[in-house]
Amino acid sequence: MEIYLDNASTTEPFPEVIDAMMPYLSDEYGNPSTIYSIGRRTRKAIDEARDTVAGLLSVKSSEISFCSGATESICTLLIGAAFAAKEGRKKFVTSSIEHKAILKVAHWLMDYLDWEVTLIDPMPSGHINPKEFTEACSKGCGLASLQWVNNEIGTIQPIEEVGLKLKGMGIPFHTDVVQGIGKFPLDLGATGIAMASASSHKFYGPKGCGLSYIREGIDVRPLLVGGGQELERRAGTENVAGIVGTATALSVLARGQKAFVERLVELERIFFDTLNSSGIEYALNGGEPRVPGMMNIFFPGVESESLLLHADREGLCISAGSACASGSTEPSYVITALGGNRMRGLCSARVTFGWHNTNEDAITGAKTIGSIVAKLRGST
């Protein structure tokens, strides 16, 4: 039996999500762009889902659009905003520890639009200094982006402080909220955040669906044009079941958010208590504030690739960082950016808890990791 401790990679959909989606995968198959009743019903489902998501994020329904996931959202929002940037503002500011979806857009802006890119390095704790970040935006900046919660080490960035400052400077500010949405309240309407991106499958919704937030008045040129769906921001027939599932997942999380976070804190405590009892040497990558339930752990002398392979044989699912980098033999650029050497980046593993994990999962996971690490160290 597998124990799944890689919830930052993807999550098991809530039963309520599957139930909500099923009608739109069977009888309610109408095209939302048609005018007859079966199409009107799917259009109504999309409209209601949009209203639900907007209400949970404290924004206007017209500011929410749906897409295939955060990667599409990030590319569309950042490139679309770059095309709309004011003349003379061709600088993009972000951090060096963003998800690769952001960093590759940064390279795209340099290669194809001749933009200047400034990458802000983190402090040893894994946090970005907000003053350093905003000061880098002071001259010629047309766009900035900062991740809310880092997808490898779980550090929480000061997006509200940065957002309000950049709003006052007239600079569109984007944030990747993938790993934070659903875990903490996010009142987008009260922040200076101009744009945000999220993936449904990271918060117990379906794969292949995500959402974009664009604050009213922010100019973003659409990259997918055609039938004019999604408020003219993303053409193509909508993924009705995915959109309904996305709204349902956020609703379920919102109802139990406080209990969910408390549960993650408890699972993390049990995990570390058990790991400590094994007596193995380890160190946590990244400092506080950090999202509960996401632990990136350095095991000196044990390469993560070997640890993961042995864990898989024991039925334990953990990762070495971003799921998008699986199979890579390069050290984590996030870990090395914290001031660690190459070996620390190669000897760290990520453990992430989710809604469905039990106390026994935390205990067994820690015991399994402790046993494997001891065995691997003994064999070297």
pLDDT tier at 323, thresholds 50, 70, 90: low
pLDDT score, position 118: 98
Instruction: Kindly state the percentage of the chain with pLDDT values over 70.
Output: 97
| Residue of 209, 317, 324, 347 with catalytic role | 324
Question: What is the chain's mean pLDDT, rounded?
Answer: 95
Residue 335 in this model has a pLDDT that exceeds 90: yes
At 260-276, the pLDDT tens digits run 999 999 999 999 999 99
Residue 326 in this model has a pLDDT that exceeds 80: no
pLDDT score, position 190: 87
Residue 239 in this model has a pLDDT that exceeds 80: yes
Domain 3-11+256-378 -> CATH class: alpha beta
Q: What's the topology of domain 15-255?
A: Aspartate Aminotransferase; domain 2 (3.40.640)
pLDDT score, position 133: 98
Q: Tell me the residue type at 298.
A: F
Active site residue 324: yes
End-to-end CA distance of the chain: 29
Half-sphere exposure of 130 (CA within 13 A, CB side): 12
pLDDT score, position 329: 67
C-alpha distances in Å from residue 22, one per residue of 105, 150, 242, 245, 255: 35, 33, 10, 9, 22
Kindly report whether the global pTM for this prediction surpasses the value 0.85.
Answer: yes
pLDDT score, position 379: 61
Residue 327 in this model has a pLDDT that exceeds 90: no
Please compute the mean of the pLDDT values over residues 228-254 and round it to a whole number.
Answer: 97
Contact 343, 251 (CB under 8 A): no
Lowest-confidence segment of 48-57, 178-187, 246-255 by average pLDDT: 178-187
Beta strands in the chain (DSSP E): 3-4, 64-67, 91-95, 116-120, 141-145, 173-176, 195-199, 210-214, 283-284, 294-298, 316-317, 348-352
Half-sphere exposure of 161 (CA within 13 A, CB side): 11
Round to whole Å and give the CA distance between 258 and 345.
33
Round to whole Å and give the CA distance between 225 and 76.
11
Break the chain into its structural domains and give their ranges.
3-11+256-378, 15-255
At 121-176, the pLDDT tens digits run 999 999 999 999 999 999 899 999 999 999 999 999 999 999 999 999 999 999 99
Q: Tell me the residue type at 131.
A: K
pLDDT score, position 2: 95
At 288-300, the pLDDT tens digits run 999 999 999 999 9
pLDDT score, position 340: 74
Beta pairing class for 141-145 and 91-95: parallel
